[in-house]
Chains A and B, each alone.
Chain A
Amino acid sequence: MDASAIQKKLEAKFGGSVGPVTTGLLEAWIGVDPDKIAEVAAFLKDDPDTRFDSLSNLSGVDYPARGHIEVVYNLMSYAKRHELTLKVSAEREAPRVATVCNVWPGANWLEREVYDLLGVDFVGHPDLRRILLPDDWVGNPLRKDYVEAPSYHGISTVRESMLRIEPPSRE
C-alpha cells in the first residue's frame, strides 16, 4: 500500500489527528498528533492491509526555529514488504509523546535514547531512564541550544591543546 492509501484509511479512522501526506525531498510522510500516535501505531500494526509489524527506526530531531521537536517513526512490514514514515511534532518546551512500546517492544530502547539525548517525555513508557549518558548528566546534548558543562565530576570537558602548554622557564 502506498502512503496516500494508508493516509485515507487513517483519516477515516482518526479524523483530524492525522495530517495529509507530505512529500519531502525524497520520501512521503504522514504527520500524527503526539497523543494519538500510540493508537495510530496499534491500528497500523493490526490492520490486515498495512500490518506494520516492525519499527525500523525512531529518531528525534530538534527544530528550535519552529519551536518543536519532531519524532520520526520509520515503520516497515515484513508481512507486506512495504514501508511508511510517520512524524510527530511536540512542543519544544515540554515535549510529550505517547509511547509505542506496547505496539513494538523494540521501541523501548529507541524511545529511551530520544528521551536521553533530546528530552522527549514518552508518556506511558515503562522504564523511561537515560540510556547512553550517565544518570546524573545535565541537559540533552542533541538539542541545538545545548551547552556542554565545563566539567563533569571534576573531569574537565575542555580540550587542552598541546601547543598551548607554556614552555619550561629557563631560570
Chain B
Amino acid sequence: MSVEIEMEDGGGLATEEMTLNMGPQHPSTHGVLRFIVKADGEVMRKATPDIGYLHRSIEKIAEKVGWHGFMPYTDRVDYVAAMACNQGWAMCGEALGGIEVPRRGEYCRVIAAELSRICSHLLAIGATGMDIGAVTPFTHALREREMINDLIEELCGARLTYNYMRIGGVAWDLPPGFRKRVTTYLDHLEPTIHEINDLLSYGKIYAERLGSVAVISPEMAIGYGLVGPNLRASGVKYDLRKDRPYSVYGDFDFDVPVGHGEMGAVGDCWDRYMMRIWEILESAKILRQACEKLPDGPVIAKVPRNFKPPAGDVHVRVEAARGDMSWYCVSDGSEYPYRLHVRTGSFSAMSIIEELSEGLMIADLVALIATFDIVAPEVDR
C-alpha cells in the first residue's frame, strides 16, 4: 500500500494553518489566561490573548466601599506584589485630601514595598526557570521568598494580601528588631542571588534558550506602554523611583539597571529575565539605606475615619514590581470614590503579545509570558 503525500508547489511538504486554544487552564499561563493561537506547525501566525477570566470588577467595588474600606481590595489587584497597590491607593487618597505622611511612615512604606518587590521578583525568576524546563531553581527561589513572607508576616500579619498601608501612613510601626532581621536576611540573600545566577541565569542552555527570543525594540515598548522591568529590558532607562521620585525614594542611592543584550539582542527574553535579578540587588541597596536612616516619629497622620476628600481628580503613578502602575481617581467630595481606574503593567504587556507573536514558536510564547512576569489578576482586575 502506498501513501500519497501532498506536496506544495515549490516542493516541500504541504502544511496548513491550525487554530489552537491555549488556556485558560494551562500550567504555563500564570493564572487564568487564554490565547487563541493560529499556528503553522510550531510557528505561530498570531496569538490573540483573551482576557477577563479573573475580572472581579475591583474598580466598581471601589465606588461602593469607601476610601478606607477599599484598601484590602487593592491587595487583590496584584497579589504577588501587593504593597505597591496599597501604596498607589493610599497616595490617591493623600493627594486628594492633601495629607502629608510622616517621614517614618514613608520609610516603613519603602521598606515594605521593596521587600514585596524582591518577593515578587523571586517568584518571577523561579517561575521563568520552571516554565522553560528548569524545575529545581524554582524551589530555591521560593525558599528565599518564604523568608520574606515571614518578615512581612511580622510586619502586618499577612503573607500575601498585606493590607499594611493606610491613607496617611502605615497601619503598624516596625516590630522590635525588625531592621536587624531585614539586614541579616539581605546578607544571606545577596550571595544566594549569585548562586541563582550560577545555577540558572548564566547557564549555557538557559541563556541560549532565552537570548534573542521575542526581541522588543524601545520604540515598540514605549508605543505599547510597556513599563517597569519590561521597558527597561529594552534599554529605556526610566524608573519612577528615580525619574519622578515619590515617597522618600529621593533619599536613597541606587542604580536603574537596563538591558544591554548580553546574551543576544537588547530587549530579548534573557534581558527581561535578568532585569529581575538586577533589581533585587538594587532593592537590597535601598532596604539597607532605609533601615539605617529610619527616622523617629509617628507612622501615620491623623486622617478622619469618615474621610471625605474634596472633589477633583488625581493621576498617581507608582513603580510596582511590574512597573509604572497608573491610578486615575476621581472624588466627588463624598465618602465614596466616584471613579477609579488602574492601568497595570501586565495589562500593557498582554496587549503587545498579539503583534509580537507573529513568527514566534509556540514554546517561545511560554517564555514570553514568563519573562513579562504577567500576573493574570492584574490584567483583569
Contacts and interface: CB of A to CB of B under 8 A. Distances in A.
Interface string A48-81: 0000011111111110000000001010001001
Interface residues of B, number: 40
Interface string B304-320: 00000011111101000
Contact of A106 (B60, B223, B313, B339): B223
B52 A59 contact: no
Interface stretch (B1-9, B273-281, B293-301, B323-331): B323-331
A57 B328 contact: yes
B222 A57 contact: no
Interface string A34-60: 000000000000000000011111111
A142 B339 contact: yes
B59 A26 contact: no
Q: From DSSP, what is the main secondary structure of chain B's interface residues?
A: mixed
B55 A55 contact: no
B15 interface: no
Contact of A104 (B225, B243, B328): B225
Contact of B314 (A26, A53, A110): A26
Contact of B310 (A25, A56, A117): A25
B243 A109 contact: no
Interface stretch (A8-16, A88-96, A130-138, A158-166): A130-138
Contacts of B338: 61
B243 A81 contact: yes
Contact of B315 (A27, A104, A131): A27
B326 A56 contact: yes
A27 B312 CA distance: 9
A162 to B, nearest CB: 21
Contacts of A54: 222-223, 225
A71 to B, nearest CB: 11
Contacts of B347: 109
A134 B326 CA distance: 25
B126 to A, nearest CB: 28
Contacts, number: 93
Interface stretch (B114-122, B209-217, B348-356): B348-356
B343 interface: yes
A151 B147 CA distance: 45
Given A61-B330, A72-B328, A27 B313 contact: yes
A155 to B, nearest CB: 15
Interface in A95-109: 104-106, 108-109
A141 B343 CA distance: 18
Interface string B174-196: 00000000000000000000000
A85 interface: yes
A27 B222 contact: no
B328 A59 contact: yes
Interface string B235-255: 010100001000000000000
Contacts of A62: 339
A142 B60 contact: yes
A106 B224 contact: yes
Given A56-B225, A132-B51, A141 B57 contact: yes
B380 A132 contact: yes
B312 A26 contact: yes
A24 interface: yes
Contact of B313 (A24, A55, A104, A133): A24
Contacts of A58: 343
B200 interface: no
B343 A53 contact: no
15 contacts: A24-B312, A25-B310, A26-B312, A26-B313, A26-B314, A54-B223, A54-B225, A62-B339, A72-B313, A105-B223, A106-B224, A106-B225, A106-B352, A109-B350, A141-B60
The 7 closest A-B pairs by CB, nearest first: A25-B312, A106-B225, A59-B341, A109-B351, A57-B326, A132-B52, A106-B224
Given A27-B315, A53-B223, A141-B60, 4 more contacts: A24-B313, A25-B331, A105-B223, A106-B225
